[in-house]
A and B are shown apart, each in its own frame.
Chain A
Amino acid sequence: MAKIKLSEKKIQELKDVCKTFNNDKGELINVLHKAQSLFGYLPAELQEIIAKELNCSVAHVYGVVTFYSYFTMLPKGKHPVSICLGTACYVRGAEKVLEEFKRQLKIQVGETTPDGKFSLSCLRCVGACGLAPVVLVGEKVYGRVAPDGVADIIAEYNT
Chain B
Amino acid sequence: MNMIKLIIDGKPIEVPSDTTILKAAKTVGIDIPTLCYFELKDMNIENRPGGCRICVVEVKGRRNLAPACNTMVAEGMEVYTHNIRVLNARRTVLELILSDHPAECLTCAKSGNCELQSMAQQLGVRELPYQGEQSKYRKDTSPAIIRDVDKCIMCRRCEMMCNDVQTVGALSAVNRGFMAVVAPAFEMNLEKSPCTYCGQCVSVCPTGALTEVDHSRNVINALADPAKTVIVQTAPAVRAALGEEFGLAPGTLVTGKMVAALRRLGFDYVFDTDFAADLTIMEEGTELLDRLTRYLKGDKDVKLPILTSCCPGWVNFFEHNFPEMRDIPSTAKSPQQMFGPIAKEYFAKKLGIDRKNMIVVSIMPCLAKKYECQRDEFKVDGDPDVNFSLSTRELAHLIKASNIDFNSLPADDFDNPLGESTGASVIFGTTGGVIEAACRTAYELYTGKKLQKVDFTELRGLENVRHATIDFDGLPINIGIAHGLGNARKLLEDIRDGKSQFHAIEIMACPGGCIGGGGQPFHHGDSSVIKQRAAALYREDAGKPIRKSHENPFIIELYKEFLGKPCGEKSHHLLHTHYFDKSAGVFVEE
B169 adjacent to chain A (CB < 8 Å)? yes
Q: Mark A28-47, 1 if CB is under 8 A from B, else 0.
A: 00000000000000001101
Shortest Cβ gap from B152 to chain A (Å):
14
A64–B184 CA distance with the chains assembled, in angstroms: 13
A62–B587 CA distance with the chains assembled, in angstroms: 11
Is A56 within 8 A of B169, CB to CB? yes
Shortest Cβ gap from B170 to chain A (Å):
6
Knowing A1-B588, A1-B589 touch, does A60 contact B163 (C-beta < 8 A)? yes
Knowing A44-B587, A45-B588, A48-B585 touch, does A57 contact B169 (C-beta < 8 A)? yes
Which chain A residues numbered 32 to 79 have a C-beta less than 8 Å away from chain B? 44-45, 47-48, 56-63, 66-67
Is B176 within 8 A of A67, CB to CB? yes
Report how many residues on chain A are interfacial, defined by Cβ distance under 8 Å.
17
A56–B187 CA distance with the chains assembled, in angstroms: 17
| Interfacial chain B residues near A48, Cβ < 8 Å | 585, 587-588
| Interfacial chain B residues near A2, Cβ < 8 Å | 590
Knowing A1-B186, A67-B175, A67-B176 touch, does A59 contact B590 (C-beta < 8 A)? no
A3 adjacent to chain B (CB < 8 Å)? yes
Q: Which of B163, B168, B176, B186 contacts A62 (CB 8 A)?
A: B186
Is A59 within 8 A of B169, CB to CB? yes
Is B185 within 8 A of A58, CB to CB? yes
Report how many residues on chain B are interfacial, defined by Cβ distance under 8 Å.
22
Q: Mark A72-93, 1 if CB is under 8 A from B, else 0.
A: 0000000000000000000000
| Interfacial chain A residues near B174, Cβ < 8 Å | 59, 62-63, 66-67
Q: Mark B155-190, 1 if CB is under 8 A from A, else 0.
A: 000000001000011111111100000011111000
Q: Mark B572-590, 1 if CB is under 8 A from A, else 0.
A: 0000000000000101111
Is B170 within 8 A of A59, CB to CB? yes
A60–B168 CA distance with the chains assembled, in angstroms: 11
A30–B10 CA distance with the chains assembled, in angstroms: 48
B193 adjacent to chain A (CB < 8 Å)? yes
Interface centre among B172, B184, B589 (most CB of A within 10 A): B172
Is B588 within 8 A of A59, CB to CB? no
| Interfacial chain B residues near A67, Cβ < 8 Å | 173-176
Q: Which of B163, B175, B587, B589 contacts A66 (CB 8 A)?
A: B175
Interface centre among B168, B171, B185 (most CB of A within 10 A): B185
Is B589 within 8 A of A63, CB to CB? no
Knowing A44-B186, A48-B585 touch, does A58 contact B590 (C-beta < 8 A)? no
| Interfacial chain B residues near A44, Cβ < 8 Å | 185-186, 587-588
| Interfacial chain A residues near B173, Cβ < 8 Å | 63, 67
A63–B156 CA distance with the chains assembled, in angstroms: 13
A58–B193 CA distance with the chains assembled, in angstroms: 9
Is B176 within 8 A of A58, CB to CB? no
Shortest Cβ gap from B509 to chain A (Å):
17
Q: Which of A1, A3, A58, A66 contacts B169 (CB 8 A)?
A: A58
B585, closest chain A residue (CB): A48
Shortest Cβ gap from B24 to chain A (Å):
31
Shortest Cβ gap from B520 to chain A (Å):
26
A56, closest chain B residue (CB): B169
Is A57 within 8 A of B170, CB to CB? yes
Shortest Cβ gap from B573 to chain A (Å):
38
Is B590 within 8 A of A3, CB to CB? yes
| Interfacial chain A residues near B589, Cβ < 8 Å | 1, 3
B179, closest chain A residue (CB): A66
| Interfacial chain A residues near B187, Cβ < 8 Å | 62
Q: Which of B163, B175, B585, B588 contacts A57 (CB 8 A)?
A: B163
Is A59 within 8 A of B184, CB to CB? yes
Is B172 within 8 A of A63, CB to CB? yes
| Interfacial chain A residues near B184, Cβ < 8 Å | 59
Q: Which of A1, A3, A62 contacts B172 (CB 8 A)?
A: A62
| Interfacial chain B residues near A56, Cβ < 8 Å | 169
A59–B163 CA distance with the chains assembled, in angstroms: 10
| Interfacial chain B residues near A62, Cβ < 8 Å | 172, 174, 185-187
In the A-B complex, list the 3 residue pairs whose CB atoms are closest, starting with the nearest.
Answer: A57-B169, A59-B172, A63-B172
B-side residues, CB < 8 A to A, are: 163, 168-176, 183-187, 193-194, 585, 587-590
Further 19 A-B residue pairs, CB within 8 A, beyond A1-B589, A62-B174, A67-B174: A2-B590, A3-B588, A44-B185, A44-B587, A44-B588, A48-B588, A56-B169, A57-B163, A57-B170, A57-B185, A58-B169, A59-B170, A59-B172, A59-B174, A59-B183, A59-B184, A66-B174, A66-B176, A67-B175
A-side residues, CB < 8 A to B, are: 1-3, 44-45, 47-48, 56-63, 66-67
